[in-house]
Structure 1
Amino acid sequence: MSFLLNSHACAGWGGEMAQRIRAFDWSSTALGAIDTWSNSLCTNVQMLLASPVPLVMLWDHPGYMIYNDAYAEFAGGRHPYLLGTPVELGWPEVADFNRNIMTVCLGGGTLVYKKKDLILLRNGKPEEVWLDLSYSPVSDDSGKPAGVIAIVMETTSHVVSERQREQAEADFHAADERLQLALNAGALLGSFVWDVANDQLSGDERFARTFSYPLEQPLDDLPIADANAVIHPDDFPRVLRMVQYTLEQGGPYNAEYRIRRADGEYTWVQASGRCEFDSDGKPLRFPGLIFDIHERKVAEESLLHLTRTLEQRVEAEVLARSEAEARLRQAQKLEAIGGLTGGVAHDFNNLLQVIAANLHLLARQEPDNANVQRRLNSALAAVERGAKLSSQLLAFARQQPLSPAVYSLRSLYDGLGDLLQRALGEMIQVDLQLTADPCSVHLDRNQLENALLNLALNARDAMLGEGTLRIYADNVALDDAFCEGKEIAPGDYVHLSIADSGSGMSAEVLGHAFEPFFSTKPSGHGTGLGLSMVFGFVKQSGGHIDMVSEVGAGTTVNLYFPRSSAAETVPPAAQAGDEPSAGGETILVVEDNPDVRCTVDELLQQLGYSVLLAANGDAAMDVLQSGAQVDLIFTDVVMPGTVKSADLAVWAKQQKPAVPVLFTSGHTRDIISRNHQLTPDIHLLSKPYGPQALMDMLKTVLSA
């Protein structure tokens, strides 16, 4: 009997969803075949199929979904997949929400939601929807809750339209607030209405005053030509184009332009409005407002000018930084090369000293052998050339010993002209110019003369032996901008300029000009150390050097030395009387190189001195503290050990009487001097040296 009732109830279902429900294989679910459904289930299905509102029934604990045609439309692309599917699988994106629904309603409770915000994937992509939802339990034949009936009313369009209305109201209030602020701030210069059909302009009193209409002119009949006449001629064509575009295309009208005031000056205004059209789409009315924007436009122009100026300043700073970085890289490269050449020169001088000393000793042993003397003289000449080369390397490395003094450049000029003329030849014209102001410098005069001579000889070669060499000196004040990246401080300097009319140099050659051994001359015509020596001397003297050259336009070398305000140094007068001779004085020789130590020992003994030997400062101090009486300490500057040559000099000065000290070195390494500039109380004999130079220096130090 129950089966017949169910079959009869199912047979009465109508509509598309009824056909789908009857055709579905319900035997694969916990509900079983449709002809076994309970009366309550069939009745509820019949009820939801007959409802015009979206209804869905969730039966049993999994919530198998059975719904009507209206819900099928709501489900979108999820239909017909949802039919017979547990609700959590049918709507996985809101599984937690539906799980709570089933728990509450199967327990006998009900749930109601208004404007529930959910994210659903109805058509393959997430969409935000708003729903009014009502959930109630439905009972089986025994009266127990067996499922949930849900009423689903989508309110998305209503919510969206409500939000759009609220946004429109907010925008309106904001626009109204801005308008009120403009009115209260006094920025509004008037309002106007243009009757486009009748070509008649009207406005309020402020508008009439702004456009300089006569006081007797009626406000409802303002000639348009009078308003156009006060618009700046440069702005008028653009304003006409914007008005015409608004008349043809509609939309808002916003134009910024200048108008002439009654005093003849121009002020910036903004005209804002909108064209109204009739039912045929023809322009009807054109209402608008005029605002004062003069201060803003002036500020914008000032900002634009500032921005352009800033861009120029930034560009200049970037260029200056790039140039400074290039100078720094060049200085670092030259510094690295200088450190290398200084070390090489030191070891080279030790070798030359051993060779020279042995050659001199050999010459003393064979005084009557002409062949031996000829070969020895040739070898000694080669040693001298090597010593000169080493001296040039030390000059570039800023490690040559200097004996600076204060003197005026005028005294340099007195003897330099004839010297240069003899060295350069008659075809080179030397033009010496000196400023009327006194120019004094504190540096080594001999080294400066050598530097100028080197530059002059380079200029002679560049001019192929014929041309004009111009040497000019003046006082200059160098500022921060000039000194940046040049290793010199701003202040007063003496500027020496040496300019030739020769072939000049390319930018690439100029970039390598100060590097040692770099030369554009043919092989055998120079060592490439001349400019390197000048560079090192200038830097060691606290100055700066730069070169300006262009192919075919000659070269100018600029030297800058710190200007001295001290009095010029007076050279000491020669002492009268016979020169002292060696009288058996005892000399302590401190030298770590065994070959040099041996040859110096033999040289000194042949010169008539008694000799004590020490391999380093520690050994020398042991000799001195043992009670040995010495008349002079002859020490190498650079030695291993804890006791340095400077420590020996300090000990010698503290003795009563003081023991004189004579230093010798391939280079000083700043141990006995500051920046290798020797003070008058420091005596240095540079390696390599011969017997005569050694004897002369010993006599000088002992007599002092």
Structure 2
Amino acid sequence: MPFLMQSHGCSGWNGEMAGRIRAFDWTLTELGSVDTWSTSLCSSVQLLLASPVPLVMLWGKPGYMIYNDAYSVFAGGRHPYLLGSPVELGWPEVAEFNRQVLDTCLAGGTLSFRNKELELLRNGQPEAVFMDLYYSPVADDDGLPAGVLAVVVETTAHMASERLREQTETAYRADNERVRLALNAGALLGSFVWDIKADLLSGDERFARTFSYPADQSLAFLSPEAASERIHPDDLIQLSQQVEQALKNGGPFNAEYRIRRPDGSYGWVLASGCCEFNEQGQPFRFPGVLIDIHERKIAEESLLKFTRNLEQRVADEVEGRLAAEEQLRQSQKLEAIGGLTGGVAHDFNNLLQVIAGNLHLLARHEPDNENVQRRVNAAIAAVERGAMLSSQLLAFARRQPLSPAVYSLRQIYEGLGELLQRALGETIQIDVQLPEESWCIHVDRNQLENALLNLALNARDAMHGEGTIAISGKNVELDQRFCAGKGISTGDYVRLSVVDTGDGMDAATLKQAFEPFFTTKADGQGTGLGLSMVFGFVKQSGGHIDMTSEVGQGTQVHLYFPRSARAQSRESPMRSVQHRGGHETILVVEDNEEVRSATVEFLQQSGYQVLVAANGDGAMQMLLDGVEVDLIFTDVVMPGLIKSSDLAAWAKVQTPPVAVLFTSGHTRDIISNNHQLSPDTHLLSKPYSPDALMTMIRSVLAG
């Protein structure tokens, strides 16, 4: 009966993480098989899996990690490797903190933190992260603390927003205080009386000095015209209107204007007074005072400028946030498609490899049968089209393996110009404008050439095969306003542009242009993956792509690549590698039996000694047992504990080192960094032909 209760508690789990938890080999830990878990643990895990909030269970003194789908998103690249690992090994940078949590909660205590700052490694770099953390003990069936349930809510974005708000409010209060002090510190510049009938001014010494009257001038007879000459011309019209209004209607008079100082500069003053009327109701006297308001006006202008800047910053922030949200939605869509594409591509390319391998073997077995040769060639051509389709999907999803190096624009175009002209035809003119001193960029040259060729062919089709395509390059500096929401940082970039004068696109078509399988061409004339491939390649290279178009006005495509500070790559001449076989011993590590069988037959027919292993575990055992090989030819993605990268690491430290050639339909990131291959990593993508296999093997062995 207890067994049935435990089984029932653990069988009610749902979701992706539930499947991963069941599939994990818990017998490697103190928890034992899932079927033997306690009712308490099963119930806690069921509660955890049902929560939309990031939850993680730390079970036992080592804190074995069991978590839900929401926590897997927070874990990022550490998922799914965190599952079943002790928390101190899973998060080594905060091991001491997690040990304190385990000791406290397993002793029956609870812990909570608001906006706790921890330094975590993300993308290989330390980053300050803020989180709300809540830790509670979880009892076993005997009521004793056996685990810790942790609620993890990241608040990094909220804290950044709060800090910006506090900085803005502090700056605003400081400016407001300056304005208040300026108003309270207004200095009296003198008093005056205007005799309206006689049109004469009288005033004190300070008034006379303010308007720069001569020192020997009588203070009882001051010329109004002389005073008017010291007033800023731009303020005279408004001041005259205010005076006329005061003479007509009476009431308080307050006018702000600028007076020219002896040094030629202008200072702001406030003239304040009131017109007096005689018994007949006619204005006859106008007394008043002059107050220095220059500091106040400067403060007001500063505050106005600050307010406008603040409004602009808010507007920019809102615009950037909207752009970032759109970028996030686009990125999530690409990631979803990319994840699907990557999984499908691996199996799809394995199937293509099986088909291609057997077709090539059939062609070799029937060399004199023309009918067989014709049909095999047609089938191989179809396999190559399928491989191209898979490659384009991987490019769009930013999962194609890249081999970047540092090039200048002229270095890239030197080998591309003739190919472009042949592909476009004689009726298309190419206008190339490249800077003499172009900055260098770090890109995969072959993929960039393919991208430019794709754009040029699209431009040719848009111009119906006639006209001029402009290809230009420029060194540019991108600011924050341009980069907002585009997923790139400010700084120096090299811009490559392809411009045509073709039909152009309307707004609706332009919006979908980079979507996979979207095309405006007739059926059978395009897959709709050309622009998608260009988009994925540019993004994977750390750049950005912009496209503008108007119906009847043509299309402009701009590719932005970050400037590279590294030395320009030197191009060595390609060595001729014969397609002949050899006598060396090759260890083939491939989990797909059909692929392995065809590959082994290719190699044996070419004279090589061949050893085989169905996975990395078997291959490593053979190598540790003393088997001597000249080259390891291994699939990248295989089942088992030993990965292909582990085989390569072993091979590198041998004396002498053993050559390694990888093959895969989809590399993931096991042998690459963001799918960018290091110079000493050799990869043969599936499906491959016998000639490509032999050429690559000879090249790796020769190197």
Q: TM-score under structure 1 normalisation? A: 0.62
Which residue of 2 is the match for residue 637 of structure 1? 636
Correspondence for 2:243 among 239, 254, 261: 239
Indicate the residue corresponding to 2:471 in structure 1: 471
1:504 maps to amino acid: G
Deviation at 1:592, TM superposition (A): 2.6
Q: Which residue of 2 aligns with 1:648?
A: 647
The 5 A counterparts of 1:514-593 are 514-561=514-561, 562-563=563-564, 566-572=567-573, 574=575, 580-583=580-583, 585-593=584-592
SS of structure 1 residue aligned to 2:681: coil
**C-alpha separation in 1, matches of 2:185 and 2:684:** 92
Summarize the alignment of residues 89-128 of structure 1 with structure 2, pairs less than 5 Å apart: none
1:189 is aligned to 190
Instruction: Report how far residue 591 of structure 1 moved.
Output: 2.1
Q: Distance in 2 between matches of 1:327 and 1:378?
A: 43
Number of equivalenced pairs: 511
Alpha-carbon separation, structure 2, partners of 1:183 and 1:640: 79
Is the Cα contact below 8 Å between 1:191 and 1:207 reproduced in 2? no
Superposed CA offset, 1:186-209 (max 9, x none) = 526327699x9x999997746984
Deviations 1:381-424 (A, max 9, x none): 11111011111122222322333344554344444333222211
Query: CA contact under 8 A between 1:193 and 1:287: conserved in structure 2?
Result: yes
Secondary structure, aligned partner of 1:633? strand
Contact (CA 8 Å) 2:190, 2:203: kept in 1 or not? Answer: no
Q: Which residue of 1 aligns with 2:354?
A: 354
- Secondary structure, counterpart of 2:238 in structure 1: coil
User: Are the structure 2 counterparts of residues 670 and 241 from structure 1 closer, same or farther at C-alpha, using a change threshold of 3 Å?
Assistant: same
User: Helix, strand or coil for the counterpart of 2:632?
Assistant: strand
Distance of 2:289 and 2:657 partners within structure 1: 99
What's the counterpart of residue 99 of structure 1?
none
**Amino acid corresponding to residue 239 of structure 1 in structure 2:** V
CA distance in 2, matches of 1:387, 1:553: 36
Indicate the residue corresponding to 2:437 in structure 1.
Answer: 437
| Alignment partners' CA distance in 2, 1:369 and 1:423 | 34
8 Å CA contact 2:580, 2:694 repeated in 1: no
Aligned to 2:383: 383
The RMSD of aligned alpha carbons is: 4.2
Give the match for residue 458 of structure 1: 458
Q: Answer whether contact 1:636 1:645 (CA < 8 A) is retained.
A: yes
Against the structure 1 CA distance between its residues 239 and 333, is the aligned structure 2 distance closer, same or farther, given a 3 Å change threshold? farther
Deviations 1:148-207 (A, max 9, x none): xxxxxxxxxxxxxxxxxxxxxxxxxxxxxxxxxx9998526327699x9x9999977469
2:633 maps to amino acid:
F
Aligned identity (percent) is: 58
Q: Is the 8 A contact 1:407 1:441 kept in 2?
A: yes
**Structure-2 separation of matches of 1:318 and 1:689:** 50
- 1:6-405 equivalences under 5 Å are 187=188, 189-190=190-191, 205=204, 209=208, 232-246=236-250, 253-258=252-257, 268-273=269-274, 289-295=288-294, 296-308=296-308, 310-312=310-312, 314-316=314-316, 318-319=318-319, 322-323=322-323, 325-405=325-405
Counterpart residue type for residue 569 of structure 1: R
Rounded Cα–Cα distance in structure 2 between residues aligned with 1:495 and 1:298: 43
Alignment partner, residue 149 of structure 1: none
Q: Is the 8 A contact 2:246 2:274 kept in 1?
A: no
Structure 1 distance, partners of 2:491, 2:686, is 37
Match of 2:428 in 1: 428
Code of the aligned partner of 1:241: Q
Structure 2 unaligned regions, length at least 5: 1-182
1:336, distance to aligned residue in structure 2 (A): 4.0
Alpha-carbon deviations, 1:316-371, whole Å to 9, x = none? 55445544554454445434433432332222111211222233334444445544
**Residues 294/397 of structure 1: CA separation in 2 closer, same or farther (3 Å cut):** same
Q: Tell me, in whole angstroms, the C-alpha distance in 2 between the residues paired with 1:397 and 1:550.
A: 28
Distance 2:378 2:238 in 1: 90
Could you report, residue by residue, the CA deviation over 1:3-56 in whole angstroms, capped at 9, with x for unpaired residues?
xxxxxxxxxxxxxxxxxxxxxxxxxxxxxxxxxxxxxxxxxxxxxxxxxxxxxx
User: In structure 1, how many angstroms separate the alpha carbons of the residues matched to 2:379 and 2:579?
Assistant: 30
In the aligned structure 2, how far is the partner of 1:379 from the partner of 1:551? 41
Letter in 1 for 2:646: D
Contact kept? 1:268, 1:297, Cα under 8 Å = no
Q: How many angstroms does 1:459 deviate by?
A: 0.5
CA deviation after TM superposition for structure 1 residue 550, in Å: 2.5
Residue number in structure 2 paired with 1:596: 595
User: Alpha-carbon deviation of 1:379?
Assistant: 1.9
Of residues 409-418 and 620-629 in structure 1, the stretch that sits farther from structure 2 once superposed is: 409-418
Deviation by residue 1:654-699 (Cα, 9 ceiling, x = unmatched) = 3344332221101222222233333443222110123332233333
Work out the CA distance in 1 between the residues paired with 2:514 and 2:408: 27
Partner SS for 2:695? helix
With over 3 angstroms needed to count, the CA separation of the structure-2 counterparts of 1:217 and 1:481, relative to structure 1, is closer
Q: Does 1:419 align with 2:419?
A: yes
**Whole-angstrom CA distance in 2 between matches of 1:534 and 1:184:** 64
SS at the partner of 1:676?
coil
Where do residues 617-632 of structure 1 align in structure 2 (5 Å cutoff)? 617-632=616-631
Partner of 1:686: 685
Q: Distance in 2 between matches of 1:654 and 1:261?
A: 83
By how many angstroms is 1:375 displaced?
2.9
Q: Secondary structure, in 3 states, of the residue corresponding to 1:587?
A: strand
1:44 maps to none
**Partners of 2:247 and 2:275 within 8 A in 1:** no
Distance of aligned partners of 1:298 and 1:346 in 2 relative to their CA distance in 1, 3 Å threshold: same
Q: 1:544 to 1:206 in 2, by over 3 A?
A: same
Secondary structure at 1:390 match in 2: helix
Which shows bigger deviation, 386-395 or 364-373? Answer: 364-373
1:616 aligns with: 615
The answer on whether the counterparts of 1:405 and 1:569 sit within 8 Å (CA) in structure 2 is: no
